[in-house]
Structure formats: C-alpha cells, structure tokens
Structure 1
Amino acid sequence: MYPPVSRFDDVAKINLTDLAFWSQPFGDRDAAFAALRRAPRPMHFREPAMPGYPHGAGYYALVHHADIAEVSRRPQDFCSAPTGISIVDLPQEFNNFFGSMINMDNPQHARLRRIVSRAFGRGMAAEFEAASRKAARQIVDELIATGPCDFVRQAAAIMPIAVLSGMMGIPPSDYEFIYDRSNIIVGTFDPEYVPRLDQATPALLRTSRELGSYIARLAADRVKNPTDDLITRLVHAEIDGERLTPEELSSFFILLVIAGMETTRNALSRGLVLLTEHPEQRELLLSDFDAYAPRAVEEILRMATPINWMRRTAARDCEVGGHTFAKGDKVLLFYCSANRDEKVFTDPYTFDITRDPNPHLTFGSVGPHFCLGAHLARMEVTVFFRELFGRLPHIRSEGEPRRLVASFVEAIKHVQCVF
C-alpha cells in the first residue's frame, strides 16, 4: 500500500511548520513526507511565529532514515544544545525547567546520564515490571467496573503515570495534578488546554514551575526521610562525588513527564486503534500473545511514533547525504518520516505485527541521545496489552480519535473504547 502523491507533486506547497499540516489525515501527511523523501535535497522551512520571540532563520527537514541515523551518530557535528525539543530558541528562563540532558551535549550530558541511569537502567527491569503489572491490573479492574469510556483518560494516560509515580513515591491523589500539567506541556498549542496562542508561553512557564516546585518538595522530604523509592535514589545517586542539583532534578522530572509518560500513553492509545482497524492482526496477536507480542509492540511503536521529531543544530560546517550544512543551521530529525522510509521498510504503510526486521527510530537512533527508558516503555506496553486483552479480549476503539494539536508529539487526546 502506498499513499496518494498527486497532491504533493509540488513539494513547495508542503508546510511542516503549520499546525494544520499535523492535524490532517495520516494518509495525506504520509504522502507529503513521501514527496519530501523524493526531493533532491533537504527542504528548508520557516520557523513558527511565536508572540514575543524573534523570528529565526528557519530549519532544514531531514526525512530519510539513513540521514537521521547519521546525524544521531555525529554529535560532534550536530549538537543538542541549546535545545532538542523546540524549533524556536527558548529564553534563558526556560532552562531552569527544560535544561535537561535531552538538550545537552557531552560532557554535561554524559554526567547526567550516568547519574540517572542507576535509577532507570536495566538493573531496575524486574521492579518496573512488577509496578507495571500492578498498575495494569488496577486499570483493567476500573475499566471493567466503569464500562465503555474515554480510553485515553481512563487507561492509556493512567498507565505510565501510575507506574512512574508509584515507583517515585507520588501518591495516587496527585495523579490528576500530573495528568493536567502534562497535557499543558505537550498541548501548549491545543485550544483545549491553552485557549489562546498568546497564553502559550505563560502557561508553559507556569506549569513548569508547578512541576518543578512539586518535585523539589518531594526531594527535600526524601533528603530528610529517605525511603526506597526512585526520588530517594535520584536525590542520593552519586557518580564520582557528584549528585543532581535541585535544578537538574526538576528538569529531569519534567523530561520524565514528556518522555516517560506521554510517549507510552500515546503508544497505548494508538495501539488500541491500530488493532481495532486491523482485526486480522488483532486476532493473530491474541492467538498466541507471548509469541507475537515482541514484534507487535515494535510495530505499534513504529506506526505510532509518539515523538515526531527532534532538533539538532550544526556545530560546524558539515555534510550529510550530499547536502552541506553551515554552522548554526537548525535541522529537524523527522522520525515519523524515517519510520515510513521505503528504502528501509517493505510496505511501510502496512500494519504488520510479524514485521522483521523493524529498525524503527521511535526511540531515536544509535548515539548519545538514544532513549534511556526504551526498554521500560516496551515493557509497559507489553504488560498493559497482556492484561487488557487477557481480561477484555473484545475491547476495541469506537469512533474517530481526537488528536492533539501539536507537531512535536503525536498524540490521541480522546478515543472511546467499548467492550
């Protein structure tokens, strides 16, 4: 299956900066990226207009799997500073909340990653799996008691919040607080969460301060009253005599809200929709869950691609894929396009839970910024769907999902489930 391309014969008509582009049907969007992949050179786009911000010089869109993988392997040429998550260069005040390792280069990045990896590394797999099973059981219990509902609100969003919050010692009474603030951070340009564009920056700063203050209070308590939760481990984690500063802990917590909670939430939501839209794949998965689940999870992650892009900035004049970038050029790595690249994936628009190999870039590519929690996200998705389909084998999505108005995050805000 291949998307229609006639609408995008003229790639100059494609505007990746326009939020309307990201709200159009997936088939149209896939067709646009297919056209960009056929273009002889990377296309250059204007930056979004943001009230109170100077208009930048624009950015290049990297849409090929090979080019994105190469840039990811060359941090000496393409740096993450000043930011990897915003097209616009954010004011310095944002660094108190968004100055996490995702926006850093070595040696600062390596230092932070070493400290937090002890709390989120593979050695924690058994503990995370137990927490995931507990959360999944409770969510499905409540689904059965509640009946048909908004799957995102009642299940997909709660799963990662319950897992990470439970392990961090955050009480269930505060889940609503985390859920509401995470919606504003990823939905800054969605009128459901921030009604006006001129409110975007104040809302983002206010929400970030609230999350930062929240984690600071918990951290201060764990310094005086250590327990066996993740916050205690992060507060006391030490490498070569160094610990996380309060600012680093706050920004890492906000990173967890985006990378550790939102991405899993969106993979779960899109997974239910995909398995509903493709009943033959669903039947195959349920015929032997343990046998098919590993590849099914990878295919859901490929198709969902919860993070559409990351930004890099050319640290010096350099060349990728035959194109020369000048020092200071902004480039966006469009993972959503790489995961549909015809040169890498056979029938890339087909949802196939037996796909093998499946070298998707949902967690980034090999390099210093490959997602630290990739193995945990895979585990959560697997554990959740095992519990869900084991107890509600006929659950399915119903109606058209309502998608988040955003370009950075690919999310379903609301989708009904029936069973």
Structure 2
Amino acid sequence: MMRPSFGLAAVASVDSAAPSLDTFSASDTYQATKFKIFDVVLELLENQNISADASSARQIRTTIDEAINAYGIREGLALNTLERVWLADDVYHEITGLGPLEPLLRDPLIDDIIVNGARRVYVERGGTLSLVQARFRDDAHLMTIIQRIVSPIGRRIDESSPYVDARLADGSRVNVIIPPIALDGPMLSIRKFRPEPITGDEYVRTGAMDHSMLDFLSNAVESRLNLLICGGTGSGKTTLLNMLSGFIGDSERLITIEDAAELRLRQTHVVRLETRPPTIEGTREVNARDLVRNALRMRPDRIILGEVRGAEAVEMLQAMSTGHDGSMATVHANTDRDALFRIEMLLGFGGLQADLRTLRRYISSSIQLIVHVQRTTDGRRRVTSITEVIGLEGDTITLNQLYRFAPDSPLSGDGVFEVMSRRPFFAHRLKRPITYATRPGTP
C-alpha cells in the first residue's frame, strides 16, 4: 500500500514521490515524532488517572488525537485524514499493544516475524524471508515490547534467565533470547498462528498432500490409531497435528499438553495443559512429564502432546499402549526411522532401563503410524511420507511405507504423491474402506 505525500515525510526527504508506509514509518523523523507524541500522551493519561491499556481504549484514542492536533499546530505539520489515522494507530499500539510488531501480526500473508535487534526485522511470506522497514527505537524499546509478551503468561526474561519460550494471546509461538547470551541485542522470533486451523481441503489444495492421503489419515484418526508426526523445525508439525485433531469425535475427552499452548481444538470437551518453567530460585517447575502423568489420572480418551522432547516419552508411550488409543504427538526428526531412534533415546533419558529389544518392542506396540512432514527448498510444506509401524523382526522395527512424495529432483519442490502399499497392516482397524486417487500427482 502506498502512503500519500506526508508532512513528516516531507521534512525527512525532499523526494516528492509518495513513500510506502514501511519506508515512511522507518524514517528517523517519523520515529522521533511518534515518540514525542507517545510521551505526551502517557503524561496526559497519568494526569487524568487513565490506565494505559486496552480497557481505556476510547479515552486513549481521544487523548492521542488531541496530542497530534497540538503537535501539528506547534510544529507546523499538515496532516491529512489518512496520515493522521496511521500516526494515531502507531502511537496507540505503542501504548497498549506490541508497537512496531502490530501491523506485522495483523498481516495475514506473514507466517514468521524475526527481530534481530532493534533495527533489523525480517518476515516470512510464502516461504521467503525478507527484510522490512519496521524497527524499534532502541534495545530498551524492544525489551519493553518483549516484557509485554512474556509477563501476562507468567514468564520472565532477564540476565539471569536470558531466553524463554512464550506465546501471544492468539496462540502464536514466541522465542526470546537476550544479552549477554545474544551478543547483538535482544532477538525475538514469532511463529504466527492462524486464527482458524487449516482444513484438510486446504492441505490438498496447496499441494501438501493428495486426497488419498487425507482420506487415509482422517480414517486413521477416527479409527483411533496412535499417530506420531515428525519433521524438522518449521516443517509444519503442529499445524498438521491441529488439522488432524479435527477428525476426532466431539464426544471424546481430550487433554492437550504443550510448552506454549497453541493447539486450537474445535471439540467441546478439551482440557488444555501448559508447562511452567522454574522460578528464579529454581523451584515450582512443571514439566511435560509431570503433566502427562497427571493427565493419565484425568480419565482422558486421548492425550495430544504438542512435542515430545524429553523424559515424558515414557509416559506418552504408556498412554498409547494402555487404553488411550488415538493419542498423538510430534517429534523433531528427519525421517520416520529417525523418529523411532529419537523416541528410543528419549526413553533412556526417562530412566526406562531395558534391553534394546524390549525398548523397541515397547515402541512398536505403542505407535501405529508415523507421518513425516518437510519444508522444501522453495518454502512449501508437504507430507512426504505416511508409514506404518508393523512390529519387531529380531532387533529391528519393521516399517511399511504407505504413501510418499517423490520430488522431481533433490532440490525441487515439485513432484508427485505415490501410493507405496495398498495392503496396510492396520486395515482391519479402519472404520472405512481405503480409497485411492484415480491419478497420482499434486493438485
């Protein structure tokens, strides 16, 4: 969107061309003006005993308009209606919101926001990272915004605890790391979460899977097969987990366990649990293993673990193998077999002492399906493999790949979906007959 000729922009540049909103808001003159008005508004709100938060939105808006009028008259700046609205919104976001991040969070085309210090902000659109003009006044300004993110959910960030995982009110995932660990200033990463979970039809339409794969996965979820989703960072594991959870019946009692709550289940009987980090004294921590143990006492029909990354793997498999069929989890791994190796390693971290064959029998009897998702070189996310865990032969877990994505070349994001086996081992447990696409390939 192009911004019209602006009084402040004219002061900042003699270029008569109308600057874009990003370029305009990044100018030193604009930033200085915004924060002068911001300081005046805060003082006025304090004098009027008005709280500087969204609960006093109308009074804050009125005060901002008055401050802009007074400043424009005093400094001789002519502002048209659109310009005044932009400036007022920016000041309002500084007072009640997340400052320069607000326009980026509201942009539906942006998937990720990455802040590398006060002056460098990147966004990801359609799988591509690009530098934007948004910026913070300084590191202190950025730290103020960070504290607004972490404080409402009971997280803390300071020199003694220099990194934290958090979430926004809409479920977006946040990671923060600050000096002295981050050498170039505070670093902030936001993985935006869609207000409405992506649907299976959208997965097919975007080429993330084909109709046969969607039909099989929905059938598997409805039939209560235990499912493990694996993939690398940013591959779309949680998004896929969220979509597949939509095929669970509304009559079931579901318990979700996450480090930062971002799953949005649509069922009515959902209990959401979230881990808690230790206090500055190192006490009061509640980890995922504690929550899984407690969830087993809460009469769940299914347990959905946002990510298994530690000793909670023991309790997760216990839930999957002792009457909580249809449970689901995600794990970081590059292939389906790597996912099993990682679970095996995590069982050791959990203190499960047994010989290798016993561990692998425990794993193979608990997990029925592994779904691998991958982010391709062009930024697209695809389901690249659906594999059954059949059992144990000797000391080796036997797998049966049902579907796969075959790329045109190792570096290509294009390719076709292929049916690898038409005789699933767990076919007898499926509620519906399996259907296959009449022709292979992406939509």
Return the TM-score normalized by structure 2. 0.25
Greater per-residue helix proportion:
1
